[in-house]
């Protein structure tokens, strides 16, 4: 070992200590991977990729299988594989602890610092990311560069990740993410047999994919990389995970079902893994599967809370709860949804303030009111918990303010609705000032929608339709944020309801059908289509939709008025 690799031991010790502190209780040892045969110390490590003579992540621990070859000792290699499996499933605290353990096995394993750095990015799909992630990851990236690596391949990995943290204090997330994508493209091209490089390049493509790009250029590139690997390595956690993200779009979701159905079994103890299939299930309207997946994720996260790994537990539990509420409400399981809404409402302080938690807190009560058409309740919504620093999350506050404004307008309190429009405008300006174009555009069509219903209340019917149609078109020009199971109500569905209220059932039916193509199997979309067909004098089509509504709600725990109407209609024919 060259002595040049030894300096900066104090900095390294601090980084290791930081990793262990960050991970908390996750530093406890888990079931060990099986004893591995010795691996050769090559300069490239390429012949070690996915071969039977190198250590792999243990199936015993149920994290999946992979081999990310590094030029470190056998024990460090084995732990490195485990750490990468944890990272690929976004189990960040245990992953960071595992990379720290790699350094205990082999203090000169420079790639361990690379691992600590990439884990510090956190969930890159929750953009805008927390600046503290870069603050934590940049020193580890620098240490990886100083520590060096025994192979050119490893040095290329380290340099590629370094592009993301370069000038992190003055450069926005997206330019740095694009730099990382381009760097990983270079690594993947230079080492075409290195399948781990291909997988990370696919991840980078998904991170930088724009919701407004309806050509899905990045997603299709990622799919071309990942689909063959999914067939070759069906137990690799990263491949299945990133395929789900690749296809998490209305137009692509059906292609994601194989990965969605497989991923939960690859690492069935990881909360995020249990949750991820529902990104596809929600897109295709498989509500029972979505609720079941998130119930398992929720219970796993609650188990972590008991073990005091509070950061990951709070994140995954709230995330899963929001998805469960969404799916339960589509099935008229209102009592079950109310229990989760009340559980979230009882929380007075959250240990980790992030956009995922804030979104869930805002969205759950908003969904509960809007999906049930309880406009009076929607008009009374307030932000909770009050201890959360809501000013950090204007996009999350906007969800609740939109629901409140819509509820006020539809229950006749136009003055209150206008106040909420003013608040949405202020939130939009804050998002624009923060250079968050995506969420600013979301606030823009929320404003249009609420103004549309205000105009309807004021009998300005054509203006109302113009605004509501503009909101629908703006929403469909983009896509939902990866952190959400779906907007609290689709604008196209609202347009259908507005047309129905104006006595234009044929036009309303067309809008409901349009909405159901993008957001399939939604309760209010199906009921709206049935009512519109009925009002338009098309009883056969109305019957088809009412039958669909009954099938959708076969496991209901609440008899909504809409279901009573469907039953009455069907009983007469």
- In terms of domains, do 83 and 164 share one? yes
pLDDT value, residue 169 = 85
The span from the CA of 355 to the CA of 442, in Å, is 15
CATH number, domain containing residue 559 = 1.25.40.10
φ, ψ for residue 280, nearest 5 deg: -85, -45
Cα four-point dihedral sign 88, 94, 95, 96: positive
CATH number, domain with residue 129: 1.25.40
| Helix or strand holding residue 369 (H, E) | helix 355-371
* Residue for token pair 């047999």: 193
Using a 10 angstrom Cβ sphere, with 0-12 exposed, 13-18 middle and 19 or more buried, the burial of residue 355 is buried
Are residue 42 and residue 80 in the same domain, yes or no? yes
Residue 484, pLDDT score: 87
- State the residue for tokens 């003579």: 53
pLDDT of residue 353: 82
Last residue of a domain, which of 283, 314, 346?
A: 346
The answer to whether residue 5 is domain-embedded is no
> Does residue 123 share a domain with residue 33?
yes
359 plus 324 within the same structural domain:
no
Q: How far apart are the first and last CA of the chain?
A: 84
Long-range pairs for 119-124 at CB < 8 Å and ≥24 separation?
Answer: 119/83, 119/87, 119/92, 119/95, 120/96, 121/164, 122/92, 123/90, 123/92, 123/356, 124/177, 124/203, 124/207
Residues 176 and 41 in one domain: yes
Is residue 32, in this structure, part of any structural domain at all? Answer: yes
Q: Is residue 113 part of a domain?
A: yes
Q: How far is Cα 511 from Cα 527, in angstroms, rounded to an integer?
A: 13
Residue 6 lies in a domain: no
CA 267, CA 91: separation in Å to the nearest integer? Answer: 11
Q: Read off the pLDDT of residues 124-170 as tens digits, 9 standing for 90 and up.
A: 888 666 666 677 788 888 888 888 788 999 999 999 999 999 988 88
Please indicate, yes or no, whether residues 194 and 295 belong to a single structural domain of this protein.
Answer: no
Residues 169 and 295 occupy one common structural domain: no
Instruction: Give, in order, the Cα–Cα distances in Å from 61 to each of 85, 99, 238, 384, 465.
Output: 11, 17, 16, 38, 56
> Which pLDDT value is given to residue 168?
86
Does residue 53 belong to any structural domain of this protein?
yes
| pLDDT on residue 145 | 80
Q: Residue 280 and residue 261: Cα distance in Å, rounded?
A: 9
Tell me what pLDDT residue 307 has.
55
pLDDT at 57: 57
- Whether residues 534 and 392 share a domain: the answer is no
Task: Tell me whether residue 214 is in a domain.
Answer: yes
Q: How far apart are CA 491 and CA 411, in angstroms?
A: 18
Asked if the structure places residue 3 within a domain, the reply is no
pTM of the prediction?
Answer: 0.87
pLDDT in tens, the chain (573 residues): 333 333 334 455 555 444 444 443 333 333 333 333 333 333 333 333 343 444 555 455 899 999 999 999 999 999 999 999 999 999 998 999 999 999 999 999 999 999 999 998 888 888 666 666 677 788 888 888 888 788 999 999 999 999 999 988 888 889 999 999 999 999 999 999 999 999 999 999 999 999 889 999 999 999 999 999 999 999 999 999 999 999 999 999 999 999 999 999 999 989 999 999 999 999 999 999 999 999 999 998 887 766 544 444 467 789 999 999 999 999 999 999 999 999 999 888 776 788 889 999 999 999 999 999 999 999 999 999 988 999 999 999 999 999 999 999 999 999 999 999 999 999 999 999 999 999 999 999 999 999 999 999 999 999 999 999 999 999 999 888 888 888 999 999 999 999 999 999 999 999 999 999 999 999 999 999 999 999 999 999 999 999 999 999 999 999 999 999 999 999 996
| Same-domain status, 199 and 296 | no
- Which of these three, 311, 346, 381, is where a domain ends? 346
Looking at the 3D structure of the chain, how many domains does it have?
A: 4
- Please, are residues 5 and 108 in contact by the beta-carbon 8 Å criterion? yes
Same domain, 16 and 159: yes
Query: Containing domain of residue 570, as a range?
Result: 497-573
Task: Find how far residue 368's CA is from the centre of its chain.
Answer: 20
Claim to verify: residue 241 and residue 283 sit in the same structural domain: no
| Residue 4 forms part of a structural domain | no
Separation CA 290–CA 281 (nearest Å): 5
Do 234 and 281 lie in one domain? The reply is: no
Q: How high is the pLDDT of residue 32?
A: 30
Among the candidates 250, 269, 288, a domain finishes at 269
């Amino acid at each position: 070992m060259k002595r040049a690799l030894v300096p900066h031991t104090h900095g390294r010790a601090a980084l290791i200590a930081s990793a262990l502190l960050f991970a908390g209780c996750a530093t406890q040892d888990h079931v060990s991977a099986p004893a591995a045969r010795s691996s050769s110390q090559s300069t490239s490590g390429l012949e070690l990729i996915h071969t039977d003579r190198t250590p792999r992540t243990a199936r015993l621990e149920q994290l999946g299988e992979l081999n990310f070859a590094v030029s470190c000792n056998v024990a460090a290699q084995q732990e490195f594989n485990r750490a990468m499996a944890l990272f690929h499933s976004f189990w960040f605290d245990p992953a960071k602890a595992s990379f720290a353990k790699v350094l205990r096995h082999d203090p000169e394993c420079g790639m361990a610092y690379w691992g600590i750095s990439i884990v510090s990015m956190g969930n890159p799909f929750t953009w805008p990311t927390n600046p503290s992630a870069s603050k934590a990851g940049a020193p580890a990236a620098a240490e990886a560069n100083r520590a060096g690596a025994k192979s050119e391949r490893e040095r290329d990995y380290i340099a590629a990740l370094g592009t993301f943290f370069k000038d992190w204090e003055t450069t926005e997330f997206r330019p740095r993410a694009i730099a990382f994508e381009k760097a990983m493209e270079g690594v993947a091209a230079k080492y075409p047999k290195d399948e781990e490089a291909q997988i990370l390049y696919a991840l980078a493509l998904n991170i930088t994919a724009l919701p407004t790009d309806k050509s899905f250029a990045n997603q299709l590139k990622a799919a071309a990389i990942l689909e063959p690997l999914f067939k070759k390595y069906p137990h690799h956690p990263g491949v299945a995970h990133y395929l789900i993200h690749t296809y998490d779009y209305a137009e692509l979701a059906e292609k994601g079902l194989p990965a969605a159905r497989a991923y939960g079994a690859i690492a069935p103890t990881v909360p995020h893994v249990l949750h991820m299939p529902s990104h596809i299930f929600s897109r295709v309207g498989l509500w029972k599967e979505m609720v079941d997946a998130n119930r398992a994720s929720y219970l796993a996260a609650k188990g972590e809370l008991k073990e005091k790994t509070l950061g990951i537990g709070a994140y995954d539990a709230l995330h899963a709860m929001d998805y469960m509420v969404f799916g339960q409400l589509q099935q008229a399981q209102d009592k079950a949804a109310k229990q989760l809404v009340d559980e979230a409402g009882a929380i007075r302080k959250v240990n980790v303030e992030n956009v995922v938690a804030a979104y869930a807190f805002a969205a759950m009560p908003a969904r509960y009111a809007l999906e049930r058409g309880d406009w009076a309740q929607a008009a009374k919504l307030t932000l909770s918990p009050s201890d959360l620093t809501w000013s950090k999350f204007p996009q999350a506050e906007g969800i609740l303010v939109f629901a409140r404004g819509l509820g006020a307008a539809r229950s006749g309190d136009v003055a209150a609705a206008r106040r909420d429009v003013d608040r949405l405008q202020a939130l939009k300006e804050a998002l624009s000032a923060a250079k968050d174009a995506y969420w600013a555009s979301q606030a823009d069509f929320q404003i249009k929608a609420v103004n549309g219903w205000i105009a309807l209340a004021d009998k300005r019917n054509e203006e109302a339709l113009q605004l509501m149609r503009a909101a629908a078109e703006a929403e469909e020009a983009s896509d939902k944020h990866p952190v959400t199971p779906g907007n609290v109500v689709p604008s196209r569905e609202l347009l259908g309801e507005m047309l129905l209220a104006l006595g234009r059932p044929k036009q309303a039916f067309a809008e409901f059908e349009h909405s159901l193509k993008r957001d399939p199997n939604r309760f209010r979309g199906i009921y709206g289509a049935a009512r519109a067909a009925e009002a338009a004098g098309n009883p056969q089509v109305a019957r088809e939709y009412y039958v669909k509504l009954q099938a959708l709600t076969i496991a209901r725990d609440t008899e909504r008025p809409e279901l009573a109407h469907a039953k009455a209609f069907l009983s007469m024919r």
